[in-house]
Amino acid sequence: MRPKKYSRSRTQLLHAAGLVGCAAAACLLTEARFNGIALPLGTALAAALEPLCGLAVLAGSIFTYALTGMLSAAPAPVCAMALTVLLRWFSGERCTPRIAAMIAGGCSLAATAVFGLGGLIRRTGWLTGLAGAAAAAGAAYCAAAAAALFAEGLPLRLSGRDAVPAAVCFVLFTSALCSLKLVMLNFGMLLAGFALLTAARRYRASGGVLCGTLLACAVLICDADSAGLAAVLPPAGLAAGLCSGRRNALSFAVLQGCAALGVLLTGWHAAAAEMTVGLLLGGLIYLLVPAVSLADRLLLFADADTELAALTGARMDFLSQSIAGVRGTSERIANMLARTDMPRSTSVRVREAICSRCRSRSTCWETGLSDTQACFQAMADAELSAPLTPPVNCLKPERITGEFARIKRRNTESRIVSARLHESQAMLFAQMRITEDLIRRAGTQTRRQLHRDLTRTVTAALAKLHIPCRAAAVSSAGGRRLLIELYLPAEPEPDQELLCEVLSDALHKSLTVCGTEHAGDERRLILQTAGGYAVSSAAAQCAVHEDEPCGDCWDSFTDADGSVYLVISDGMGSGRCAAVDSRIVISNFRSLVQSGVDCEAAAKMINAIMLTKSGEERFATLDVAKICTDTAAVTLYKYGAGPTLIRRGDRVTLFQAATNPIGILPKAEPYTTVLKLEDGDMLFLLSDGLDDTLYPYIRERLRAGGDLQALAHAVCAKAQRDARGVPRDDVTVLAAAVEMRN
């Protein structure tokens, strides 16, 4: 019950904060003057928001009018707002931008008409009232569209149709802030300095020019006397965008230089001084805070081909489901044919072929039924090479024994063919499942948000280093981390550390390499912004015989989602053959997972490969720990594997289950469990070569903590000492620790 109460109280607190914010915005809009003219923006805001927020807007406006002594001089705006709030209560919680515009414009027009006919508005005030009604309608439309974006949550996702309303709201809000001053500080220009440098840094020259143009409009709407300063904002954004690949201080200096030029064009006066100070402080805030990260959390621009990406994803999903339908139908037909094609017993077939035409059949199958049946059953159960004994007094003993031998040979051949067919079907269906999963994952990738500007930044950085890149893409899914995909020639192999460092500097984000793989003459390199947790690992091995390779294999890698995989495979027996089997399992598992295949689907595919790779019985265990670097959750997959020990705080837990290794049964079913780790937790993956008596020792070492590599070597050394220098089996210890990033 406590989490529900906490969630309810948090929701109430956020709602109360929203009402206070609406009242504060109303105070700002009521006090704002646009070249000396008051616009009914409070009415527009009340029409765009839900009724309770509209009531807060009305209360904030009345409070501001009363505080400034303008309540009696502004009856028409107050009446328009009151009428707007009343209509919004009747129209419901939400309304479309068009309805909001009609309410705001109609109420402003009605208030102007009523007070004009009552003689409270002069003749010249009629024109101002009509213009104010039109402005209220347009502002309400844009504010309602922006409110719909805010209702979807942060970051705001702007598409082409949402860009104009958002730009209008940004201009009006900045212009209203320009009317808010404190001594020599202009809050609107403070926002302008911060927003201009952030847009130039995040979206380069195009973002700087666009943001500068919008800010110039805001300055002109607020004070036309500052036209000279407003004129330099677009070129200042362009210059800052061109310098964005260098240090932040250079962009800051460029903006201040352009502001000085604007002051020279405008002339030095109090308004110019306030705006200059605002730009200076806004630029300083930009230097002190992570502006780009903040911008990514607040705003994302959707590309024009979002619908195309959605269509491509839907097509891939449909294709995946179509393949799944074909596979399901094929499996059902194969199972049905396998059930209906069951041959009759050998005794019945011999009886129908030979005894049905014999003249003594009544004597054998009626008088001596039990003896004949027992003899036929004995011949049916005998081995293929064993001698067959026909019934006593049988008139056709050679034909009886010959027919038994022929049918048994045919049954043996049919079983061999059926087994081969079953293996081929299992392999085919496993491949079809893998294909379904790959297509489904590819469809999921197409729904990611592609950042074209960041993609151009990546390609430009690679071009400067003369690194051949066939294709590149920077994308994100929702509010998740950035994913960078690079498609490079397979040869020569790229310097991953250099690429990671160069792209981190270009994007101003900390990147990690998630993995590299190649297919044909092409190599794919995936990088991703660092998650909230880092995983460090260490391993130690010892073989049964020093002159032979260890039959265990281990690996540690990262997939395209940033999850870290720790994998151990133990081949049957020891030595070279066991090492080959475990290496097959490890290498294929890594390739499939990094290609986008789910862990269990990859294991099923490898199981089919191990079943058909040779006539001998060969198998290997598979032990997987998948650690999510966003949440520190670990998922264990065990296929006949040894135990896993996890230290969470001061508690050490052992996880082990009896499952079959890879390559024994047609269906590989794992033991799986999901656990939530925290900062400083550790886990140990152990091959089955360790004796059970070592577990208390390992528990104590885990509780004590320390260096991972030292712990892994200590466990291996302890295993060798306990076995008097000759371990019974190969031993592998794979240790990992989870740490929260700063």
> What six digits make up the tokens of 578?
């066991």
User: Quick check: helix, strand or coil at residue 636?
Assistant: strand
Q: What is the pLDDT of residue 624?
A: 92
Q: What is the mean pLDDT of residues 219-244?
A: 82
735 backbone φψ class: left, alpha, beta (φ>0; ψ -120 to 50): beta
Judge whether 702 lies within some domain.
yes
- pTM (predicted TM-score): 0.54
Pair 82, 225 in one domain: yes
Q: Is the pLDDT of residue 5 over 60?
A: no
Tell me the β-bridge partners of 517.
524
CA 442 to chain centre: 13
Q: In 3D, which of 290, 662, 663, 652 has the Cα closest to residue 507?
A: 290
pLDDT (tens digit per residue) in 255-291: 888 888 877 777 777 777 888 888 888 888 888 888 7
Report how many domains make up the chain. Answer: 4
Pair 157, 127 in one domain: yes
| Range in 325-339, 399-413, 631-645 with the lowest mean pLDDT | 325-339
Q: What is the pLDDT of residue 431?
A: 64
* Paired sense of beta strands 651-655 and 644-648, if any: antiparallel
Question: What are the backbone dihedrals phi and psi of residue 589, each rounded to the nearest 5 degrees, phi first?
Answer: -65, -45
Q: What is the CATH number of the domain that holds 499?
A: 3.30.70
Domain closes at, from 446, 465, 492: 446
> What six digits make up the tokens of 220?
């002109």
Q: What is the pLDDT of residue 308?
A: 47
Judge whether 584 lies within some domain.
no
Q: What is the pLDDT of residue 625?
A: 92
| Cβ atoms within 10 Å, residue 197 | 29
Pair 155, 98 in one domain: yes
Judge whether 57 lies within some domain.
yes
Pair 550, 442 in one domain: no
| Cβ atoms within 10 Å, residue 56 | 24
Pair 639, 733 in one domain: yes
pLDDT (tens digit per residue) in 116-153: 776 666 656 667 778 878 888 888 888 888 888 777 66
Domain closes at, from 271, 301, 331: 301
How does DSSP classify residue 613?
A: S
Judge whether 597 lies within some domain.
no
- The CA-atom distances, in angstroms, between 207 and each of 167, 234, 481 are 13, 10, 22
Q: What is the CATH number of the domain that holds 675?
A: 3.60.40.10
Domain closes at, from 269, 301, 333: 301
Q: What is the pLDDT of residue 121?
A: 64
Q: Locate tokens 């081969």: which residue?
A: 420
Pair 292, 366 in one domain: no
Judge whether 601 lies within some domain.
no
Pair 28, 105 in one domain: yes
Q: If you average pLDDT over every residue of the chain, what do you get?
A: 78
Q: Which residue range is the domain that position 282 belongs to?
A: 2-301
Pair 181, 271 in one domain: yes
Pair 62, 166 in one domain: yes
**For the chain, what percent of residues have pLDDT higher than 90?**
1
Q: What is the mean pLDDT of residues 160-185?
A: 82
Pair 142, 170 in one domain: yes
How does DSSP classify residue 555?
A: E
Judge whether 340 lies within some domain.
yes
- Are 440 and 595 spatial neighbours (Cβ–Cβ below 8 Å)? no
CA 499 to chain centre: 23
> What six digits make up the tokens of 716?
């291996």
Judge whether 588 lies within some domain.
no
Q: What is the mean pLDDT of residues 14-37?
A: 80
Q: What is the pLDDT of residue 123?
A: 59
Q: What is the pLDDT of residue 6?
A: 47
Pair 329, 399 in one domain: yes
pLDDT (tens digit per residue) in 446-480: 556 677 777 888 888 888 888 888 788 887 765 56
pLDDT (tens digit per residue) in 565-623: 999 988 877 777 778 888 888 888 888 887 777 788 888 878 877 776 655 566 788 99
Pair 524, 537 in one domain: no
> What six digits make up the tokens of 63?
């409070």
- Are 635 and 566 spatial neighbours (Cβ–Cβ below 8 Å)? no
Judge whether 12 lies within some domain.
yes
